[in-house]
Structure 1
Amino acid sequence: MAKRGRVTKARPRAAPKRTAKANRRASNRTAVKARAPAPPAAAQQRLATPVLSVRASPRVTLENWSNGHLGAVVDFYRFDLGQPSEGAKKRVLALKDGIRLAALGGRAAADQEVARVVRLLARKGLLEYPLTRMAARAEVAIIEPQMADYWPHVAKLANTDTLVLSRFAYLRRRSSEMVLESPRAGALIRIIDPAIATMLTMLATPQTVGTLRKLAGFPGTELLGLLVDCAILFKVDGPGDDGRRSREGDETLVMWDFHDLLFHARSAEGRQANLVGGAYPHLDSIAPPPAIRPSWPGERIDLKAALPAPSETVSPAARLFRDRVSVRDYDNQNPVTLAELSLFLDGAARVLSRWESPLDLEDGSDGPMLDYTRRPYPTGGSAYELELYVTVANCAGLASGLYHYDAGAHTLTRIPAKPEQLSAMLDFAQFAMGADGRPQILLTVTSRFARLAWKYSSIAYALTLKDVGALLQTLYLMAADMGLGGCAVGTSDIDLFEKTTGLPFHVEGPVGQFTLGRPIATDEAPDALPTQT
């Protein structure tokens, strides 16, 4: 034992002598260890979990106005964001670079002010949400809202949850970027980290969250939760569940083909952030195509010589076709009456007859009994999947509101709707037409898509658009025959209609609109048709 106050060192033991055989084994182990490949960087060091932030969209400029208010400028449009405190202003202006989304949950007055302005910007679709590995300041993905009031929600996931990619999800190149989209999603994902594409490829078959977390460069469970919230991913029972159509949604969604639902969502407003309408996107690069196609070369047959005498040329039906014009402005001092609206719907859309017939199967047996109707306009397979919803702004004898037209009973049923929603629908139609005022009556044509998709593959949505065209022409001709004015509206807001009626856009959604009213009286005679020589 060492004496107190004195430090002593133990004498090292001599290493035992190794035999030649032991020396050879040690040498082999060293050589094998030297040849072994180094583990990947992802395995050596776990990547930091990405953090979700919020920032102003690149097309938005935030300004501190001279009157003390904050403002947002987008494509020359100015939005007043109110007058928060100076501390809150600084934080809002920092949205240019982004702030953590979690920081908006504070209870302090300044926190609430910032949250209010951020929510206001979100309702106008002026924000985006980057996922960033903060330590390296490396963005993994950016969530871009496609619906005006989108707000990111992260679905809670456990390691044992099994996920699979939606059949409506797709990757595409947008300029120099890769984006992940779905017609069912409220946002698209701009992919920056290539590891996400690898993960999505795996998710073509069901994968547990625990399995995905083992991937090199795993982008984080927060991204998975966002994709589930956007219906780009969905949960299944387990790896053995193949995620077929019936697992993804209700029976109406099951009947939608991918391209049909995509066309429905991307050819109207409400579920996309792309430019819609007459924007002349090719003005600077392509000459405008001519109104009349250049003639084919070769012998021409003059049909004018085959026309009957001038007095017999124009039949009543042909005159009605030629009198048809689009009327966008109406006489609000002399509105359409309820009696006129009833006659208009009776002549253009009412059920004329109804019958049933069994489905003939290929083996000669009878399938289920199918019911059919006949109406004044044609549709594919006598499906008559189209419905009419009547938004009334000014109709003598009928209160303002939203109604459904029952074509079988020839009745109107009022649908509860908020005044601001009705105003938004009427304002939308006015803007789309470029009219000076609201329409007196707005007819929204919807499609019960399942009625066609139950029978037709690949062409169901194309058929419903053809049917809309036939109905719109019928509405035009009926209006002309009654001396009323009508105008087809080029687009509609499918999200606004869903919120107003509560009908999911994939169950029954707008595919056309038509305004109706009394034309403004004029002493001028209609322009004569040009003489063709």
Structure 2
Amino acid sequence: MSPLLLSLHPRTTLHDEQGLLTAHHRWGRTTLGPHTPPLAEALHALVAGPTAIHGMADRLRATARRAGLPPEPQLALLHGSLERLAHSVRRHATTGSRRLATAEPLAPEAAPRPGPAPAPDTPLTLDRAAHLRLVDDRLALESPRSRFRLRLEDPRVATLLALLARPASRAELAGRCGDLTEDAVAAVLSLLYSTGFAHPADDAGHDGTGHPAGHDGTGHPAGHDGTGHGDAGHGGAGLPPGWTFHELLAYDGSRAGPRDRPYGPVFPLRATEPPAPPVAPPPDGRVIPLSRPDLDRLSREDRPFTDVLESRTSRRAYGEHPLTIEQLAEFLYRAARVRTLLGAHPEDDRPYAITSRPYPSAGSAYELELYAAVHRCHGLARGLYHYDPLGHTLTALPGGPEAVDRLLREAAAATGGAPPPDVHLTLVSRVKRLSWKYAAHAYALTLKNTGVLLQTLCLVATAMGLSGCPVGGGDSETPVRAFDLAPYTEIPVGAFLLGSAPTPR
């Protein structure tokens, strides 16, 4: 048996549509050519299961002769059909009757790397974005730079992958992979190379150590969109310049990416649990009502929007006199209060209640909560608080001065040792408000919502003549401990430093 076999994805079906052979597949339908017995028989064999391409070609020639058709045009039709169905062709590396690994395309643009495989003595190395994870109780190799998934169907393939952490030739790998023959190693390497998981170690700009690899000649990383998604061949093994593995993976996860996973507003948790409430219930504790500003007066007296926008800047210096509770109340009301609360509307495909607030939010989910560590604020004791945007109140939380100090130290570290703000606001995402509706990219959406809210906080602080500074980093565990947040359910995603402005000289 040939060590490399092909098959069509099980969800592929073939049809005779007005004399044309048409494939219906996960991504739609593709017309392949005239519906002739040789072509139909060959492709039906691929639907039935893994088939050696050389054996299939021999059978196609025999079928063509029996049908009185010239074999070579039929063979050209077959190769053309396989090219057009590249997004649905699975490739299998085998040894004897045992399957070693299967490469499955994950997107309609998936296509194997063009050109011949490297020579046997060419050292290959693993793509620096490749990683193993469990998929359906089996290890699978994935990479944000490949639109294929390689399923490991024999544990010996994992040994081969480990050896490819450093450049190695086919003969070297065969000598170190136990009882895998060189032909079997060659089949796996061919699979890895054609699907973009392995690269020649001497590719331009790559030295086999994971340093940045080749470009496309325009100053951009190889691949038409900057991440190598054009096809399975995208330069060398190194990561694109300026990218880390985790950022590349996060970027890929925030887009449609591999199409075998749910993506978009598909309500993945709708059948198993109710949506989180549109406004988080206030925690237990002493409730502090906040004053409400006169918006009509503010609309008349506020600085013009263009002036606010053009003068916005991060200010890390604070006035001699502290922020007042009235200023904090106005700031929170203008930036983050609930303006309206609307119930669920299942008939409009909105099976969850929503709110309206002064800033936009994906799906009107408004998953972000504001927690405050008050350092100095006239009319409000030093301590930790939660803001209720519906009732426009603060709730005092447990936690001594040391919790406030820890958050202030985080702020100082993030702002180059700037003095402590009057109030340190932590933005916390109730991420399930998003993941109940959106699959695959809820975390990416909450980061975008965080940016929107931070900009709103900046503009309101500028309009009010206060000092404000957004903070994007920090230790996630510090606010989790300070505010007693539920891990992976309430996640810190940003911070904002607020205080009175220094008196102009």
Normalised TM-score (structure 1): 0.45
| Structure number with bigger Rg | 1
Normalised TM-score (structure 2): 0.47
